[in-house]
Structure 1
């Protein structure tokens, strides 16, 4: 990019843990982090992290009425700001989005309304999407701009794009960007099941037979990036992830944003991509700019574990990179799909690979190992064909 942007801090909470050290340690094993809840597989926080979130809720009387998606964002944002050594006096901007928003609160409020025919006092202000950034800004005591949006599963990367735009326009000197998602609620999961993209409880007969022969801990229920799968295998996970970004080449940067791209396409169906993911072709081409495609060493794919979605993204990659496809990887086989937060978790994975100069493979796939780790592209897309591609360099 003409004006380089530095990532000076990152923080996430997911089934992988709450610190970069723990997250990296858990990336390096071949285990997945799915557990069963009401017969379905989900990716949820470890017990210690659940207790941390509950402690946050009870630490302030105002926080007792907040949705989990807001609490997750506050928790992750505090750590990101601490790691960046920012203070409230910095007046940094905040842009944190979510695909589904306050799912648990909304479902609880609606159930109460059906029973009592009366809405509770805080049902509106605690379920608006702007709630996330507003409460994070309040918690961190920043006076900078606060923005929330939902662009489905590419939400977190769109938050990053927006933060970059503010910095390049000299309207703000630093931005906290990210996504937060608490989708493990009955109605949210039911929506994914209605689309027939959620991992079925028992899987196919072939999968059931295979699981009888292998230990559950070492099987891989979400077959993200596997183009040979015969049924959709998406699994939802809860998470929040944040980045601190600053204009220019900071001495404390974790990585540099070398390119950004976005793309949309005409809707053929409410939830579909075109066969060759035209939006991804546009976003990846834009992110590359004048760089030779061979510069890219790795792509962290979006690939949620659906047959058509995974194939469409690979088709787009083959169109852009032709005969020299970068090494491909994803984290959704391990922690599932956290919807609006997923793109930032992929960014974190890329930063950790750049830092440690080690490629994280998908254990059930054969892929070409990268000869170097200098440039990594991260993809995200959501319902409606809203694709974003980010190119990071070390």
Structure 2
């Protein structure tokens, strides 16, 4: 548990769910998913894309500054989302706050563009190096917001955004700063990125003909948290998510961070975790601290839609929570796996459930009961390398 709670005073995201708190919550309240078929390279695949409204706003941002013309989408997504978060929190230009934003894949579009140019022409463009570094997002966001605090970038695969939260909590509790902007941004809908996931044989090839309690699963390309699925169903999505963290309990707090946990799995190979996800067991226990596990009402699972990934996390939850498993949910069946941004979207989902006092259920999952009240929510994330993070949130 933390020395003192840390307030989340603003959250902002862009994804196929929308871009405002109200839009995102409305998207969560129905049984529809936001995955579409798109032509990526020379094939048609399931993906999760930004809304047309957001795409238009990103294009305006790109044209607003001569320097922004050459930036990767992942960077522009981050700048756009960070502006909204900081504005909501009321942090003025030039405020003393830290910035910690990461990405799993980085500047995917520019990497592929510049590499193709090199293969064709035998030389590289002048801006190929500075516009494809992983530090791009945090540095450009800090430049755009004129922040005066520390500026940190990292890539810890799919748990990147929640690792940013860990970093920020450590800085705040050290007394070196009182505010931190954290998050993740990802623009992975490129031919090579999709091909990498297909090479792992985890990408969705739905529809399937399976049926469950009257729900036709063929209508859901990603069956995240369905423990009976017979094939992997991960779908990639583009998104960005930011959160403003402040020391103590603030009047404008959306939720409080009560506990943080992290762990790394002893891996036998680099792409999966053990059948009972020891890393998740350890990270969740650390986040709980001395709290009785029965007090947790909801766990927002990482659950990427793969057979082994979903089941191993579920097994870890059973071991930690024993005979009283909390309400389990995830958003990847609806918005896809957004890699480094996924933890931010899960954090936002948790905050929305706490504020609306309603759980987000999955249509093809059978629930014995729904929680009557939601006081505490655990949010999980993990990535290649078995680097798990768990964040415990409570109502403000």
Gaps of 5+ in 1: none
Q: CA deviation at 1:371?
A: 2.7
CA distance in 2, matches of 1:154, 1:285: 17
Root mean square deviation, CA, Å = 1.4
CA distances 1:334-372 after superposition (whole Å, capped 9, x unpaired): 001001000110000010011011111011111231132
Q: CA deviation at 1:171?
A: 1.1
Aligned to 2:59: 54
Aligned to 1:68: 73
CA distance in 2, matches of 1:214, 1:366: 11
Aligned pairs, number: 387
Alignment check: 8 A CA contact 1:260 1:388 kept: yes
Aligned to 1:375: 376
Aligned to 1:176: 181
CA distance in 1, matches of 2:154, 2:170: 15
Query: Which TM-score applies when normalising by structure 2?
Result: 0.96
Secondary structure of residue in 2 paired with 1:373: coil
Question: After superposition, where does 1:168-317 map in structure 2 within 5 Å?
Answer: 168-200=173-205, 203-204=207-208, 206=209, 219-317=219-317
Question: After superposition, where does 1:29-40 map in structure 2 within 5 Å?
Answer: 29-38=30-39, 39-40=44-45
Q: Report runs of 4+ in structure 1 exceeding 3 Å deviation.
A: 213-216
Aligned to 2:391: 390
CA distance in 2, matches of 1:89, 1:342: 28
Aligned to 1:22: 23
CA distance in 2, matches of 1:90, 1:124: 30
Gaps of 5+ in 2: none
Aligned to 1:139: 144
Aligned to 1:362: 362
CA distance in 1, matches of 2:216, 2:360: 22
CA distances 1:222-250 after superposition (whole Å, capped 9, x unpaired): 00000000000000000000000001111
Aligned to 1:345: 345
Query: Which TM-score applies when normalising by structure 1?
Result: 0.96
Q: CA deviation at 1:7?
A: 0.4
Q: CA deviation at 1:88?
A: 2.4
Question: After superposition, where does 1:147-186 map in structure 2 within 5 Å?
Answer: 147-186=152-191
Aligned to 2:50: 45
Alignment check: 8 A CA contact 1:88 1:143 kept: no
Secondary structure of residue in 1 paired with 2:99: strand
